Amino acid sequence: MGANDSTGIASAIGQPVLRKEDARFLTGTGQFTDDVTMTRQTHAYFLRSPHAHATIRAIDVKKAKAAPGVVGVFTGADLTGVNGLPCGWLITGTDGKPMNEPPHPVLAQGKVRYVGDAVAIVVAESIDQAKDAAEQIEVDYDVLASVVSSVDALKPGAPQIHEQAPGNRCYTWALGDKAAVDAAFAKAAHVTKLDLVNNRLVPNAIEPRAALASWSRADDAYTLYVTSQNPHVERLLMTAFVLGLPEHKVRVIAPDVGGGFGSKIYLYPEETAMVWASKRVNRPIKWAAERSESFLSDAHGRDHVTHAELALDKDGKFLALRVQTTANMGAYLSTFASCIPTILYATLLAGQYTTPAIHCEVTAVFTNTAPVDAYRGAGRPEATYVVERIVHQAAVETGIAQDELRRRNFIREFPYQTPVALNYDIGNYDQTLDAANEMADVAGFAARKAEAKQRGKLRGLGYASYIEACGLAPSNIAGALGARAGLFEAGEVRVHPTGSVTVFTGSHSHGQGHETTFAQVVAARLGVPVDNVDVVHGDTGRVPFGMGTYGSRSLSVGGTAIVKALDKIIAKGKKIAAHLLEAAESDIEFHDGKFTVAGTDRSKTFGEVALTAYVPHNYPLDKLEPGLNETAFYDPTNFTYPAGTHICEVEVDPETGVVQVVAFTASDDFGNIINPMIVEGQVHGGVAQGIGQALLEHCVYDTSSGQLLTGSMMDYALPRADDMPAFQVDTKVTPCTHNPLGAKGCGEAGAIGSPAALMNAVLDALAPVGVTHLDMPASPHRVWKAIRQARPNA
């Protein structure tokens, strides 16, 4: 199996160390939010809007309040002094004005704007009593016309969702040099045009969102257990912006969290209302979403409609890219909604290519649907889909081989300044393309295609050479672009007197294996066994601060904060060792867990130094504080740029339209790797979600009623084991130049490259029957229909 149970010293880096966290998950002793129970705990049920758009004339809660077991019923009218939920990124439009930012009430205020919009919270002794009481609430709705598609919402006469957003427009924003793009198109030898829909997705972490809120009369303090990827951000937003509570009086704990994929980044109405209500009822309140609630109320992903044009010269060199996108924001702006189709999307449109001129215009639109925000990849899968689909189409139109057209346009000199604001520090795109070609046996594809044809099947091969920007990112630049928060990370390293170590990180692990990877980093640096290092995360009461986990930033940003704290530990250790060894501090070297006087065999172990720090009998107390506990905050100087090539091979049954993914190959460059086993697992999972998007998943609202049609796992097709192929994955390394770990991030790459690779493969397979366009998901019905439309008499 090639994996180690535990490993020592410097060799910990790059080893497939088995995960520390597995012991509890495999024995049922993990502690997820819904597993936590408090004495005198009550249960919450949220009454949600059954209508996509309606005015609330009146709400009568009298009967519900008198129902058996009810402890409290609250509606928007009760939340006096409570602000709306904030959006964390201000986008300034092409008109120079700030985006339209309508209020996002915790509980509906006079109007509901999507099916599932929370109207009231019912708190009762049992969940059944809370549900029964909710049925007694009488809401007098005046139902209004609704609109669910972003394109329809922009049309004249469309239902108006917010007074503060005329025409349902949140903003129109642009990036790039329009004049340069227009000039390049004017002299192009060939122009490829494409209309694309990036289908709306429901994240579906397998643990539904949950919360347990309590208030203590003893110290007027709150504790919130919540399914969050970033508990400090949750606390800051909730206390400072919404509830007006002192931040130090609220402890937010995100214990074991069962997957997030972006959907657990945000501050949601439910836990906010529960914290507020916990003091009113003076009882702990528990809520766990039912899956149907998750479908209705978790922030959704993607939902872009795009027109793109690529200009090429006669040799297939890209001259310019022009992109226009309409992005669906849903009914309200979720926490980071506004930056996803802008800052994290348009900036990636250079891809791996030297395209000298790029212009992208994005219109963000309110609709009567659940809020849309970051979902695994967040803007970058959408950008990659545009770039790699249009490059595929350009290759088809120009007759240049898919890999050759990409090679002709690869960036090869670094650092590289793109025309869309990013500065790529390093990469080697030929390397990953070549490796993918070899692993996927592209040379043998023609024979496999011919063999498939004998069986009546259409075989296709598709490429996606993606890039992403991870490790968000310099706070000053993000601030200039509208971010309302910093984007650093914090780490604390506490060395105990016996030399074992506890690390407190602001990153949050909800499947990524930080407890192991971060322990490997610490073990390697301090020369202690991995088993002597514990990693604590997800608790504002224990961790100094944190921005949390999203955007594949945990190792490159959170890991670097830990490395910076380790540097301080070692620097202090050298002072202590110099004292003990009666040598100059500058002569002390630290290797393999030992402080040594350079050029001698005189040394002190890390454990001896740690003990001296806490038992400072022989210690320079006049010059140095006792103890060995250091904290560091790290703010990156640039994004990191993971990149790679994915190749997908499919077989289509033209009789049924069924697409089978027969092979999927990923060659990725994530920079230096700490734990290859975990990295491979991240790629597998990302690819599965990308294949899910391209093949199966599709969130659909009924256009006339605004009802969610795909509201359960029986209507929304999640990938299952028999939908997936075995994956071939491999990594190449160009170390990131600007963080000490040389790490770039690996969490999202799989979901970024795979949708385009799969759709390109499907279109390659369908080319012989005349199908030239298909939108995701490539479901049997859609594929079958496309074949029939292309060949009506077939």
Partner 1 sequence: MSVSLALNVNGKPVSAEIDARTLLVDFLRNNLALTGTHVGCDTAQCGACTVHLDGQAVKACNVLALQANGRAVVTIEGLAAEDGALHPMQAAFRACHALQCGFCTPGMVMSAIDLVNRHPNADEATIRAELEGNICRCTGYHNIVKAVRQGAAEMGR
Residues in the site for partner 1, rule: CB under 8 A?
Answer: 1, 3, 16, 18-19, 21-32, 34-35, 37, 204-208, 256-259, 261, 288, 290-292, 510-513, 677-678, 680-681, 684-689, 712-714, 718-722, 724, 726-727, 750
| Burial tier of 622 (Cβ tally within 10 Å: 0-12, 13-18, 19+) | exposed
Cis-peptide, bond into residue 544, ω within 30° of zero: no
Amino acid in position 475: S
Where would I find the H helices in 354-417? 380-398, 402-409
Instruction: Quote the least distance from Cβ 298 to partner 1, whole Å.
Output: 12
Closest CB to partner 1 among 339 and 663? Answer: 663
Nearest CA to 237 out of 69, 382, 88 is that of 88
Q: Which two tokens stand for residue 255?
A: 């214990």
- Write the CA distances from 49 to 56, 140, 293, 357, 545, integer angstroms: 10, 11, 11, 46, 36
Instruction: Quote the least distance from Cβ 513 to partner 1, whole Å.
Output: 7
The CA R_g of the chain, rounded to the nearest whole Å, is 27
Question: How many Å apart are CA 454 and CA 217, to the nearest integer?
Answer: 76
Instruction: Quote the least distance from Cβ 135 to partner 1, whole Å.
Output: 16
Nearest CA to 764 out of 304, 401, 260, 348 is that of 401
Segments of 527-640 assigned E as strands = 533-537, 588-591, 594-597, 603-605, 629-634
Instruction: Quote the least distance from Cβ 535 to partner 1, whole Å.
Output: 15
Amino acid in position 591: H
Query: Would you say 617 and 720 are in contact if contact means Cβ atoms under 8 Å apart?
Result: no
Instruction: Quote the least distance from Cβ 26 to partner 1, whole Å.
Output: 5
Closest CB to partner 1 among 50 and 719? Answer: 719
Query: Would you say 289 and 258 are in contact if contact means Cβ atoms under 8 Å apart?
Result: no
Question: How many Å apart are CA 91 and CA 338, to the nearest integer?
Answer: 7
Instruction: Quote the least distance from Cβ 294 to partner 1, whole Å.
Output: 9
The three-class DSSP label of residue 208 is coil
Phi, psi of 319 (to 5 degrees): -100, -40
Phi, psi of 344 (to 5 degrees): -100, 5
Closest CB to partner 1 among 234 and 515? Answer: 515
Closest CB to partner 1 among 258 and 558? Answer: 258
Instruction: Quote the least distance from Cβ 515 to partner 1, whole Å.
Output: 11
Closest CB to partner 1 among 28 and 456? Answer: 28
Closest CB to partner 1 among 337 and 677? Answer: 677
Instruction: Quote the least distance from Cβ 328 to partner 1, whole Å.
Output: 23
Question: How many Å apart are CA 339 and CA 333, to the nearest integer?
Answer: 10
Instruction: Quote the least distance from Cβ 139 to partner 1, whole Å.
Output: 23
Instruction: Quote the least distance from Cβ 387 to partner 1, whole Å.
Output: 24
Task: Read off the DSSP letter of residue 410.
Answer: B
Instruction: Quote the least distance from Cβ 377 to partner 1, whole Å.
Output: 14
Closest CB to partner 1 among 45 and 639? Answer: 45
Question: How many Å apart are CA 282 and CA 141, to the nearest integer?
Answer: 32
Closest CB to partner 1 among 203 and 527? Answer: 203
Question: How many Å apart are CA 538 and CA 257, to the nearest integer?
Answer: 9
Closest CB to partner 1 among 41 and 324? Answer: 41
Instruction: Quote the least distance from Cβ 650 to partner 1, whole Å.
Output: 17
Closest CB to partner 1 among 496 and 684? Answer: 684
Instruction: Quote the least distance from Cβ 544 to partner 1, whole Å.
Output: 25
Residue matched to tokens 């012991």:
23
Q: Which two tokens stand for residue 125?
A: 């002794």
Closest CB to partner 1 among 482 and 558? Answer: 558
- For 463, residues 6+ apart whose C-beta sits below 8 A from its C-beta are 388, 392, 402, 403, 406, 436, 645, 646, 647, 757, 760
Closest CB to partner 1 among 718 and 767? Answer: 718
Closest CB to partner 1 among 197 and 718? Answer: 718
Give the count of beta carbons closer than 10 Å to the beta carbon of residue 218: 6
Closest CB to partner 1 among 260 and 558? Answer: 260
Task: Answer left, alpha or beta for residue 146, where phi above 0 means left and psi between -120 and 50 means alpha.
Answer: beta
Nearest CA to 632 out of 791, 494, 485 is that of 494
The three-class DSSP label of residue 488 is coil
Cis-peptide, bond into residue 777, ω within 30° of zero: yes
Packed helices 560-581 and 514-526: angle between N→C axes, nearest 10 degrees: 30
Closest CB to partner 1 among 512 and 731? Answer: 512
| Burial tier of 719 (Cβ tally within 10 Å: 0-12, 13-18, 19+) | middle
CA 578, 582, 584, 587: dihedral to nearest 10 degrees? -70
Instruction: Quote the least distance from Cβ 722 to partner 1, whole Å.
Output: 4
Phi, psi of 466 (to 5 degrees): -100, 160
Instruction: Quote the least distance from Cβ 1 to partner 1, whole Å.
Output: 5
Instruction: Quote the least distance from Cβ 591 to partner 1, whole Å.
Output: 31
DSSP class per residue in 47-70: EE-SSSSEEEEEEE-HHHHTSTTE
Closest CB to partner 1 among 419 and 750? Answer: 750
Q: Which two tokens stand for residue 129?
A: 């009593």
